[in-house]
Amino acid sequence: MLILGIESSCDETGVALVDASGPGTPALLGHALHSQIEMHQAYGGVVPELASRDHIRRVLPLMATTLAQAGRSLQDVDLVAYTRGPGLAGALLVGAGVACAIAAALGKPTLGVHHLEGHLLSPFLSADPPTFPFVALLVSGGHTQLMRVDGVGRYELLGETIDDAAGEAFDKSAKLLGLGYPGGPALARLAEQGDSQAFKLPRPLLHSGDLDFSFAGLKTAVLTQARKLGDDLAGRRADLAAATQAAIVEVLVKKSLAALSQTGLRRLVVAGGVGANAELRLRLNQACERAGVRVHYPELHLCTDNGAMIALAAGLRVQAGDRAQTAADPARAYRFDVKPRWPLADLAINP
């Protein structure tokens, strides 16, 4: 079964083709991605209307590139998958509308995929794929969650952020330091030149006894420190960036190890855009090695939003028995909706 996946939840347009024939992990045959970073830089953040319009321009050329890369034609596709949520409503509607229109033209089924499930399962495309069960640390731009994962569609929420996500803490702190968009990667690059011990910043909820996160207070502490420095901020910016990154990473590492201890599991999966952070990977690798825990990551080019994770998640769901929406079901044929807010723990396999 060949599955075409379309991702359009925010500011990346991604298209991919996977082969989900047989019982093994679906194989990635080709994928293409366009990032809107350059377009949104002038505004210091994502402008939803511009994002939606750009998805419309990009999705069909990216599809052609993907199919050419895989050496297949559109008529070879057996199922069209798309990101149903969470994300920006307008952006999601572009991907969903295109996917369902293509499926209708081909007379093939469709399947709406949860964006975070795509991230969570993306390490299965890596050279070192995990096996179930495991603890997952999901750290994307707007989400920070710890999940127990016992199989496809079998997710238990262990803890999540009660305010800002880790990615937001990176981005908002970067803005306070006068760094460009996207702030997270810029802050991480600057932190390489700084002293992480130069400033004492809080580690919110580090000793709370639960697995929830909170990063809003850290952002406020960075703002307070930047104001104290005043004109001296320019010379101390790298140190403050390093201290900020160290605080975020320490909380993520300690909570992840606590989740492993609480569940008794010995395998950790890290997914989402923040999962590409080099300092986070270093500290997690060190901590997991000491604890005798295996840790898995997506390939770096699959940490960002992408179509490969959507096609993969659809393939794994179909293999697990999920029923795609087909033209044979007149009551549902090619109707679609999107879910800008959609708890991952609510997912299940729909036979």
The whole model's pTM is what?
0.94
Same domain, 219 and 273: yes
Same domain, 57 and 17: yes
Peptide bond into 182 cis (omega under 30): yes
Domain containing residue 17: CATH number? 3.30.420.40
Q: Is residue 90 part of a domain?
A: yes
**Pairing between strand 110-114 and 79-85?**
parallel
Residue 42: burial class (beta carbons within 10 Å; 0-12, 13-18, 19+): exposed
- The order of strands in the sheet holding 294-296 is 154-160, 144-151, 134-139, 267-271, 294-296
CA distance 11 to 53: 11
Same domain, 105 and 148: no
Q: Angle 48-70/89-106 helices, nearest 10 degrees? A: 40
The whole domain housing 222 covers 131-297
What's the domain count of the chain?
Answer: 2
pLDDT tens across the length of the chain (351 residues): 999 999 999 999 999 999 999 888 999 999 999 999 999 998 989 999 999 999 999 999 999 999 999 999 999 999 999 999 999 999 999 999 999 999 999 999 999 999 999 999 999 999 999 999 999 999 987 899 999 999 999 999 999 999 999 999 999 999 999 998 889 999 999 999 999 999 999 999 999 999 999 999 999 999 999 999 999 999 999 999 999 999 999 999 999 999 999 999 999 999 999 999 999 999 999 999 999 999 999 999 999 999 999 999 999 999 998 876 555 565 567 889 999 999 998 887 776
Same domain, 307 and 289: no
Same domain, 140 and 94: no
Same domain, 251 and 156: yes
Q: Is residue 242 part of a domain?
A: yes
CA distance 170 to 182: 9
